Structure 1
Amino acid sequence: MEFKTLRMQIEDFQSSSTITIRDLGNETRIRILKKILKLFGDVPDCRVQGRITYRLNEIILMLFLATLAGSESCLGAQDFWGANDRLYRRLFGKETIPSHDTFRRILGLIKSDELNSLLVNILLNSDSAIRKALKLPAPQKKIVSVDGKQLRGTGRKADTVEEVKDLQILNVYEQDSQTCLFSEAIESKTNEIPHAQQILSRMNLKDTVVTFDAMHMQTRTIGIIAEAGGDYVGGLKGNQGKASEFARALFIQENLEKLKGIDGCYHMTSEISHNQLEQRSFYLYPLTASEKKGLFSDWRKVHALLCMAKTMRHNITGKETDEVRYYLTSLKDIGDAAHCIRAHWNIENGLHWNLDTVFREDYLALSDRTAALNQSILNKACLSLYKKMSDLIGGTQKISKKRLRKIFGWNFNDAMSQALTLMDPPTFAKSVEIIPRKAR
């Protein structure tokens, strides 16, 4: 498959080999932490340098490690370092631990784009190191998904009756690395569109498929993706009136039956999930030359309309639910298009759902918008590390992200050792062990 992700490659690799990561000891842990501390020094500090007690890179590392170990607030970060005072003194050379107010205030001063860029580079370098150690090829194509998320606990303001909207964050998520490449605060849900366009215009999208919901089905967005050498699969709803009406009129039962009989125009998948049978039928209608020049003339690289008809039947109650969705795409292969449609839900299930259930982001008690965004960025980086660890050390029995976070809290030093190894490619190359499985 062209879209074979790192996780899928590791699963295939573990069918014939076991992967273990050796603990290289406390000195190695400290060395890697100081190396990361130096990297965090690249985030600019706007404070007056002669009047500070804690350097910005120190605060970032303190918050990152506390988040990795299960902290869900600035008070939790203070408590974490109080419980790990020996590591604190060894790493930072200080006796006094910052108060939760200090953590909260400085978290609101960090430049979010700089922090996100630095963490993403560390995580992507980790992916390269894993592929190199396991001799895995880079994917032929990648999928990048665009979607917004609401932080429900941020819409508040002390001592006022003023209505404050929850913070909205636009996320751009790479499926291969399971890493959120960009996180940007937006003022309202409708303003996702220009933010997405600005981000996509800065990206190299060659050999990349961008997936998005109907909100982002904009001719300018499509033009940006095409200009950057990418492909797209996007939802089609009422916001694109004529195109949506055309799709609904086209995909009537009679035409669906005809498409079934045409090679390359029908694809079906079925699976049992959440105690119900889910069957998806995908129909691809290649647009004619006249349709591309007419109704769809503003959509660059457009090739086809897609219909996904989903039927869900509960295994116990027998209740059936039907759902139909329409898409516009530049892809020519229906199998690839179907895969991208399914993969798009990973930004909801793999990213947003985990942020809510594992990191409890809906209960994030930060009214400062910049502080809330920065904490969300730290959460996403930690989640990406959890996923890599789950894929590598879990073997055929995957470890849930929630369980991994508890393991970090209960046995921080050993768990941190494995996480830090993943964050330092030279150390990972030395510590990874590959043991072939014995044939049965």
Structure 2
Amino acid sequence: MSPSKKPAFLYHFDELEDPRIDRKKLYPLPEILLVVLCGSICGAQSWRDFVTFGEEKLDYLRRFLPFKNGIPSKNTFARVLSSLDPKLFKQCFIAWVQSFQLALKEVIAIDGKALRKSFDKATEQSAIHMVSAFATSSKLVLGQEKVYEKSNEITAIPKLLDLLAIEGAIVSIDAMGTQKKIAKKIHEKKADYVLSLKGNHSTLHDDIRLFLSTEIEKLHQAKSHKIIDRYEDHDKGHGRVEHRLCYVTDQLEWLAQRVDWCDLKTIAMVESRVTVGDKTTTEQRYFISSLPANAKELAQAIRSHWAIENSLHWVLDVTMGEDLSRVRKDHAPENMAMIRHIVLNLLRGAKSQFRKDMSLKGLQKKAGWGENTLSAILMQEF
């Protein structure tokens, strides 16, 4: 049986260059990538897993590519993924995700995550960190940049922003990424920003905290206050009640540092009160933003940022075993992180075709058990 048309998304990766010399290419690069991607969709996590998956699904895989020499060994998978150029792989990934249709004013959360098992004592290589951009409404990974230390996220974020098409989006970053150059870069990309403030900008943080606490007290006393916009919401479930208040103002004439931050329009404070049983904790967090003084919009953007923890980092660890992955040689950790991001996007994109209550882990199992499900995931168009 001759192969049918390969999945549409794979055409975006045709520019990938095979790192091997021609006479040693018994197994073409597209075939290796197809096995790794299909295997990962179905829950495979190790080189040996990919061999087993390929051997069991060889007839299915031949629907798309010839596989003239069958399935490669685990050493071949390891060698190819270790030597594949991650920069070119990333460019292909970005080209693919730029074809996605994102929501208007999508909140794009940027945050870093350590690949904990990627350290290598033998070569004294520290664990790598992947700084990722995540579309919080669409729940799709838009890009990633590798660093070796968390402190280097500051230099990785501008590089990542350069790769992304973010016009009209809202970019949210935690306190480490609250840098003047990053705010300027986001503005140059025709997007808005919501940046968290902590001790790394202690003077700005303290000035904003003092001003807002004074104005919020006036609001409480007068029950109305023309320079403060306020939004309130709450969640309840699993014995936990969270009550949130967001206060925003665009009255910044008093703030000497406002000229240092490109397009700074508003400052905000979010107060969260969490009650579990008879214990209540309160936290106040401060933000600067290029958005107008709309407390509801700011509150929703700030809350959306946490989706990168719950819908990306947690899923990568629990569903795809990223924290347990011992892949560590050369470029393999970065390339396999990219594979997991591709697979997560494919699973998320296809999820609406199946039961609403189906988890991503459940969808992986269903794809492993049923080739029609695997085909639906592979052949979708974003």
| TM-score using structure 1 length | 0.79
What code does the residue aligned with 1:399 have? M
The one-character-per-residue Cα deviations of 1:139-169 (angstroms, maximum 9, x if unpaired) are 3322211110101111233xx4x75421111
State the partner residue of 1:415: 373
Q: Does 1:145 align with 2:109?
A: yes
What code does the residue aligned with 2:360 have? K
State the partner residue of 1:300: 262
State the partner residue of 1:432: none
The one-character-per-residue Cα deviations of 1:160-183 (angstroms, maximum 9, x if unpaired) are 4x7542111111122343222211
State the partner residue of 2:274: 312
How much does 1:36 deviate?
Answer: 5.5
How much does 1:223 deviate?
Answer: 1.1
Q: Could you tell me how far apart the structure 1 residues matched to 2:10 and 2:345 are?
A: 19
Q: Could you tell me how far apart the structure 2 residues matched to 1:391 and 1:88 are?
A: 24
Contact 1:108 1:370 in 2 (8 A): yes
How much does 1:123 deviate?
Answer: 5.2
Change (3 A) 1:78 1:216: same
What does 1:266-281 align with in structure 2 at a 5 Å threshold?
266-281=230-245
Q: Does 1:40 align with 2:4?
A: no
Q: Which of 88, 102, 112 is matched with 1:114 structurally?
A: 88
Q: Could you tell me how far apart the structure 2 residues matched to 1:139 and 1:366 are?
A: 35
Q: Could you tell me how far apart the structure 1 residues matched to 2:39 and 2:333 are?
A: 16
Q: Which of 347, 354, 358 is matched with 1:399 structurally?
A: 358
What secondary structure, in the 3-state scheme, does the structure 2 residue paired with 1:165 have?
Answer: coil
Q: Could you tell me how far apart the structure 1 residues matched to 2:165 and 2:341 are?
A: 22
Q: Does 1:255 align with 2:255?
A: no
How much does 1:398 deviate?
Answer: 2.9
What code does the residue aligned with 1:154 have? S
State the partner residue of 1:170: 131
What secondary structure, in the 3-state scheme, does the structure 2 residue paired with 1:382 have?
Answer: helix
Q: Could you tell me how far apart the structure 2 residues matched to 1:255 and 1:37 are?
A: 55
What secondary structure, in the 3-state scheme, does the structure 1 residue paired with 2:291 have?
Answer: coil
Q: Could you tell me how far apart the structure 1 residues matched to 2:194 and 2:358 are?
A: 32
Change (3 A) 1:386 1:35: closer
Aligned length: 376
Q: Does 1:377 align with 2:350?
A: no
What secondary structure, in the 3-state scheme, does the structure 1 residue paired with 2:167 have?
Answer: coil
Q: Does 1:344 align with 2:305?
A: yes
The one-character-per-residue Cα deviations of 1:32-91 (angstroms, maximum 9, x if unpaired) are 436665553321123222332112222111111111111011111011012123224553
Q: Could you tell me how far apart the structure 2 residues matched to 1:390 and 1:35 are?
A: 18
Contact 1:201 1:225 in 2 (8 A): no
What code does the residue aligned with 1:262 have? H
What code does the residue aligned with 1:80 have? F
Q: Could you tell me how far apart the structure 1 residues matched to 2:322 and 2:47 are?
A: 13
Contact 2:19 2:80 in 1 (8 A): no
State the partner residue of 1:7: none
Contact 1:120 1:180 in 2 (8 A): no
State the partner residue of 1:321: 281
Q: Could you tell me how far apart the structure 2 residues matched to 1:215 and 1:142 are?
A: 22
Q: Could you tell me how far apart the structure 2 residues matched to 1:391 and 1:257 are?
A: 46
Contact 2:346 2:378 in 1 (8 A): no
Contact 1:266 1:283 in 2 (8 A): yes
Contact 1:120 1:179 in 2 (8 A): no
Residue range with higher mean Cα deviation, 147-156 or 47-56: 47-56
Q: Could you tell me how far apart the structure 1 residues matched to 2:238 and 2:158 are?
A: 35
Q: Could you tell me how far apart the structure 1 residues matched to 2:374 and 2:97 are?
A: 15
What secondary structure, in the 3-state scheme, does the structure 2 residue paired with 1:383 have?
Answer: helix
State the partner residue of 2:295: 334
How much does 1:212 deviate?
Answer: 0.1
Q: Could you tell me how far apart the structure 1 residues matched to 2:144 and 2:369 are?
A: 30
Q: Could you tell me how far apart the structure 2 residues matched to 1:399 and 1:384 are?
A: 16
| TM-score using structure 2 length | 0.91
Q: Could you tell me how far apart the structure 2 residues matched to 1:341 and 1:42 are?
A: 37
How much does 1:362 deviate?
Answer: 0.7
Contact 1:259 1:283 in 2 (8 A): no
Q: Could you tell me how far apart the structure 1 residues matched to 2:148 and 2:127 are?
A: 9
How much does 1:380 deviate?
Answer: 1.3
What code does the residue aligned with 1:389 have? A
Contact 1:88 1:94 in 2 (8 A): no
Relative contact order (alpha carbons < 8 A, sep ≥ 6): 1 or 2 greater?
1
How much does 1:331 deviate?
Answer: 0.9
Q: Does 1:265 align with 2:229?
A: yes
Q: Could you tell me how far apart the structure 2 residues matched to 1:239 and 1:218 are?
A: 10
How much does 1:313 deviate?
Answer: 1.1
Contact 2:144 2:160 in 1 (8 A): no
Q: Could you tell me how far apart the structure 2 residues matched to 1:83 and 1:156 are?
A: 32
How much does 1:318 deviate?
Answer: 2.6
The one-character-per-residue Cα deviations of 1:64-119 (angstroms, maximum 9, x if unpaired) are 11111110111110110121232245533324321111101100122223333434
Change (3 A) 1:309 1:149: same
Change (3 A) 1:221 1:120: closer
Q: Does 1:386 align with 2:347?
A: yes
Contact 1:235 1:328 in 2 (8 A): yes
What code does the residue aligned with 1:45 have? D
Residue range with higher mean Cα deviation, 377-386 or 262-271: 262-271
